[in-house]
Amino acid sequence: MILPDKSLILPAQLETLRESHSSVQIEFRRVTKMYGAITAVKDLALTVRQGEFLTILGPSGSGKTTALMLLAGFISPSEGDILIGGRSVAAVPSYRRDQGIVFQSYALFPHLTVRRNLEFPLEMRGIKASERANRVDRILKRVHLKDFGGRMPSQLSGGQQQRVALARALIADPPVLLLDEPLGALDRNLREQMQGEIKSLHKEFGITTVCVTHDQEEALTLSDRIVVMRGGVIEQVDTPEALYDRPATLFAANFLGEANLLEETGSDVQAERSRPFGMVAIIRPERLRISTRGAPRSPDADQRQSVIGMVTDTVYAGAQRKYHVQAGTRMLTVREHVASGQQVYSPGDQVRLEWLRSDVRFVTP
Amino acid sequence: MVPFLKLSRLSIGLTLPAMAILLAVFGVPMVLLLLTSFNAPAFTLANYQAFVDQPANLRVLSQTIEISLVTTALCVVIGYPTAYVIAASSKQLRATLIGFVVISYLTSLLARTYAWILILGDRGLINNFLLDLGLISSPLPLIYNRTAVYIGMVQIMLPVMVLPLISVTVGIDKSLMAAARSMGARPFTAFRRVFFPLSLPGVRSGSVLVFVLCLGFYITPAALGGVRDAMLSTFIAAHAKSSLNLGSTAASSLILLAIAMIVISLIGLDLSGSPSRTPKPARKTWLRLLPSSGLITRYLNELAVPCRAKRWTAQLYRAGTDDRLLKIAGAMFVVFVMLFLLFPGLVVIVMSFSPGTFLEFPPSGLSLQWYRSFFSDASWYAAAWTSIQIGIAVTILSTIVGTLAAYGLSHTFPRLRTVLSMVILTPITFPVIVVGIATYLGLVQLGLIGTKVGIILAHTIGATAYVVVIVSATLANLDRRLENAAKSMRASPFKAFMRVTLPLIRPGVAGGAVFAFLHSFDEVVTTSLVGGLSIRTLPLKMWENMRHQLDPTIAAVASLLMLLPVVWLIVLYVTWWKSKPQALRAIRDAAS
């Protein structure tokens, strides 16, 4: 166990401390958290860079919330260490960590007005009343709630509560912002709007942010990097684009978007010589091209592979049309952008599915 | 619009039986009591003048208020940390601890008072123990003084304080405290600024309940206090029995009632049991009447700002102190409180097996002689049988009437519901002695003094109030759409109620029935007034025994009474445990 540094730090020193570790802000060093016999997080090793927006993505029970709670200091690791700004915080209680947190249910104090809620973190830091009022005014304006300072949280809509929660987390300029399923309680339209809001606030404040979510769209739009977790272990860490385009595991591929397994579809992918040992071939639904079985082949046919299958189901979803096609023993999903003059297939139609060899990815199953 | 009106009128109609009994037994006589106190039709203040002119009266009145206030304060001081620790403990532990508090709450008041006589008396547990050790040569005066009154009253009232406190503190979102800490609030600051303000509604309702119950308190002060510790209730009861001057009794009852009403209206009492997570900031409290209090705290806070600023930077990222000691202290405190609540009962049970001619602790042997004497003495088991008969009749009547009323109330407009609930709850919110006097008047008018029917009616008004509180709380948690779903499947309102609503609220109805029975089985104040000379219920017989001769048989009776709530809790547990699949079946039945 690494002993916490009990030395006294002056604010000025703190600044240099923050800057000197500007590249890495948060570090998990082989952190394990056990609840009795259950391991919630196992050997977690992860770094978050200064100013980065990192999202931990995973299904419920994947340990993502535990990781966040460890970082917030509400629970302490069973093994390993967590460093913030280069300092071990294993023994530092949450109220001395200087973090802004947006809780899943917002946790706005129901007995305080919006203004008093926003003043709370400033008061705790010993900031004078006049300065507090200034800061509150500024941030209320920033989150478009200028006239709502006198309201009680229960008198706000869900979106407004969300913005107050964000403002409260940011108002004291903490170096780290933690978001716990921040948009889970909002409806779809509002969620998109708030995603934009969070993104612009993050850019404006330049604050290192760790967000936990199970919503892949949220993760893709907001993050600089995404951590995919499963069963307490990290599956993959990468930028959203890389993660989507080059998933390392079948789980990551399926959790972030959809993936078609190409095994046992009757295609020649199994004969592919470049296929690494122990891996399976997948392809994203939007990379598949659907055409009538007997249609003439495209000129670049030598770069393509294909299978023959039967449409079992079609789903129309506005901009896209989804086909489920039975090929071999597999069910493949095809996603096609709706365009005018396009041929529409119905269940029972025999079709050919084609794809570029270069679009096939090999992942660990 | 027309069917809607009809429906709401119909649901009001369901409260009619409860209202009719309440008005006949309690409501009309209450008005009569008011008129009598003013010497109607002359309308003079002579009775009140006479009350005020007697210095002894004023002394008893101030003493009553003082004892009630001190008891309430002690209950808050002991009850708040208890509730806090219980609410913070793990789920299973919490359920067990709440179970202990509920058992204490449901245990017969007489039995618990009797336990204190056994513990504090001159030949009681403590004195015997000290004498045996040779620490003292003559018994300490532990009983028949103010301290004994406080010990007994706090033990009896503590559950009334702790239970509402727990229900409020458990409902406080834990993430709020986490949020406060994440913003830099130290644990104590987080408690003071966030948890405590949110738990105030619980403190408020607990305090009001305890205070008002204390005002009308009768048994414990009379049994444990000295001559100088008389409460106004004792005074009123003595007056009502001895003097023919109803006017002065009426005046003193109404003075007591007025104090209770003032406290209730100033601080506010929420017995509705509807779980509202968000506190109502609009509620008027006496604290809000002082606009300066907020300003003062804010000013003091501002003074602390520079210090806080220094501390914040100095302590940032420093290791925290271990709070294990605090946790151990909390656990020990709760253990102590649980002992305080349950130990007296255990003492009585153990002592009831004493073999000698009087009770001793620990017993030198094991003997069932007092139990034998209970079951062989006709006057004891006749009293028990009378109590059981009355209890069963009260339970059946009040459960039916109360459930109908609660259902009716849940289907009316909120405003009407509030008013009617307040009326129905008066028998348990008014000081006990006032209810007793009014009921006495009512039964005199109905010619039912000294009859079982009279006692049943007298008990039913209080029992109905308990049933309404508990069933209303269950109904508030019930998804109204289930009933509508049944109706959409062509079930008539009656069928929908019987097949869907009733099975779903059955836990509440069963709980209400248990409360109704225990209320009747432990009632002594009203019963002693309306029972006349012919009817002896078990509590009455116990009470007389406790006052006059200490026949050790009473220990056996008290022990049996202590077991009663445990038995009932097991019965309730079984019904509730069984009700889950039944609730599902009810929905399925309605669908098919």
pLDDT digits (tens, 9 = 90+) for A311-360: 999 998 888 899 999 988 888 999 999 888 888 899 999 999 988 888 88
Question: Quick one: tokens of B319?
Answer: 């290791």
Cβ pair B317:A5 closer than 8 A: yes
A14 interface with B at CB cutoff 8 Å: yes
Query: How many CB atoms lie under 10 A from the CB of residue B583?
Result: 18
- Chain B neighbors of A10, CB-CB under 8 A: 313
B175, B281, B307 member nearest A105 (Cβ): B175
Confidence at A364, pLDDT banded by 50, 70, 90: confident
Q: Distance, in angstroms, between A273 CA and closest chain B CA?
A: 55
pLDDT digits (tens, 9 = 90+) for A139-171: 999 999 999 999 999 999 988 999 999 999 999
Among B529, B581, B583, B578, smallest CA distance to B249 is for B529
Residues in A 66-95 with any Cβ partner in B closer than 8 A? 72-74, 84-85, 87, 89, 91-95
pLDDT of residue B134: 84
Cβ pair A126:B312 closer than 8 A: yes
pLDDT digits (tens, 9 = 90+) for B10-42: 678 888 999 999 999 999 999 988 988 888 778
Query: How many CB atoms lie under 10 A from the CB of residue B282?
Result: 7
Among B7, B16, B19, smallest CA distance to B497 is for B7
Taking 60 as the threshold, does the pLDDT of residue B275 lie above it? Answer: no
B184, B307, B313 member nearest A95 (Cβ): B184
Nearest-by-CA chain A residue for B200: A111
Give the C-alpha separation, A143 to A145, whole Å: 6
- Chain A neighbors of B185, CB-CB under 8 A: 95, 120, 124
- Chain B neighbors of A129, CB-CB under 8 A: 302, 305
Nearest-by-CA chain B residue for A2: B319
Torsion of CA B320, B322, B323, B329, to 10 degrees: -160
pLDDT of residue B565: 82
Q: What is the mean pLDDT of residues A17-36?
A: 77
Taking 70 as the threshold, does the pLDDT of residue B588 lie above it? Answer: no
pLDDT of residue B584: 46
Quote ipTM for the complex.
0.77
Q: Distance, in angstroms, between A304 CA and closest chain B CA?
A: 54
A101, A104, A123 member nearest B182 (Cβ): A101
Q: Are B184 and A121 in contact (CB under 8 A)?
A: yes
Q: What is the mean pLDDT of residues B494-510?
A: 86
Taking 60 as the threshold, does the pLDDT of residue B86 lie above it? Answer: yes
Taking 60 as the threshold, does the pLDDT of residue B426 lie above it? Answer: yes
Cβ pair B182:A72 closer than 8 A: yes
* Strands of A330-337's sheet in order across: A289-292, A350-356, A304-317, A320-327, A330-337
Cβ pair B315:A96 closer than 8 A: yes
Query: How many CB atoms lie under 10 A from the CB of residue A35?
Result: 10
pLDDT of residue B580: 54
- Among B360-374, B450-464, B519-533, the least confident range: B360-374
pLDDT of residue B579: 58
A35 interface with B at CB cutoff 8 Å: no
Q: Are B150 and B70 in contact (CB under 8 A)?
A: yes
Among B206, B202, B198, B205, smallest CA distance to B154 is for B206
pLDDT of residue B268: 67
A92, A101, A168 member nearest B317 (Cβ): A92
Taking 80 as the threshold, does the pLDDT of residue B448 lie above it? Answer: yes
Best A95, A119, A170 member to test B by mutation, with max B CBs in 10 Å, is A95
Nearest-by-CA chain A residue for B307: A126
Among B110, B119, B102, smallest CA distance to B557 is for B110
B308 interface with A at CB cutoff 8 Å: yes
Among B306, B556, B426, smallest CA distance to A128 is for B306
Taking 70 as the threshold, does the pLDDT of residue B56 lie above it? Answer: yes
Among B147, B181, B176, smallest CA distance to B74 is for B147
B187 interface with A at CB cutoff 8 Å: yes
Confidence at B272, pLDDT banded by 50, 70, 90: very low
Mean pLDDT, chain B, whole residue set:
84
B184 interface with A at CB cutoff 8 Å: yes
Nearest-by-CA chain B residue for A74: B178
Cβ pair B305:A99 closer than 8 A: no
B278, B314, B317 member nearest A110 (Cβ): B278
A164 interface with B at CB cutoff 8 Å: no
Give the C-alpha separation, A267 to B64, whole Å: 93
B168 interface with A at CB cutoff 8 Å: no
A157 interface with B at CB cutoff 8 Å: no
Higher pLDDT pick, B426 / B570: B426
Q: Are A110 and B175 in contact (CB under 8 A)?
A: no
Cβ pair A97:B183 closer than 8 A: no
Q: What is the mean pLDDT of residues B81-95?
A: 90
pLDDT of residue B7: 53
Peptide bond into B503 cis (omega under 30): no
Residues in A 165-204 with any Cβ partner in B closer than 8 A? 168, 172, 178
pLDDT of residue A186: 81
- Chain B neighbors of A72, CB-CB under 8 A: 178, 182
B126 interface with A at CB cutoff 8 Å: no
Among B456, B308, B488, smallest CA distance to B392 is for B456
- Chain A neighbors of B319, CB-CB under 8 A: 4, 6, 91-93
pTM of this prediction? Answer: 0.81
- Chain B neighbors of A35, CB-CB under 8 A: none
A97 interface with B at CB cutoff 8 Å: yes
Question: Quick one: tokens of B351?
Answer: 């002592």
Taking 50 as the threshold, does the pLDDT of residue B277 lie above it? Answer: no
B320 interface with A at CB cutoff 8 Å: yes
Among B144, B145, B120, B115, smallest CA distance to B130 is for B120
- Chain B neighbors of A161, CB-CB under 8 A: none
Q: Are A213 and A178 in contact (CB under 8 A)?
A: no
B309 interface with A at CB cutoff 8 Å: yes
- Chain A neighbors of B181, CB-CB under 8 A: 73-74, 93-95
Give the C-alpha separation, A239 to A53, whole Å: 10
Residues in A 126-145 with any Cβ partner in B closer than 8 A? 126-129
pLDDT of residue A232: 92
Looking at the DSSP bridge assignments, the partners of residue A226 are A55, A238
Cβ pair A92:B319 closer than 8 A: yes
Nearest-by-CA chain A residue for B173: A107
A107, A123, A154 member nearest B301 (Cβ): A123
Q: What is the mean pLDDT of residues B53-82?
A: 93
Q: What is the mean pLDDT of residues B434-463?
A: 91
Q: What is the mean pLDDT of residues B3-9?
A: 53
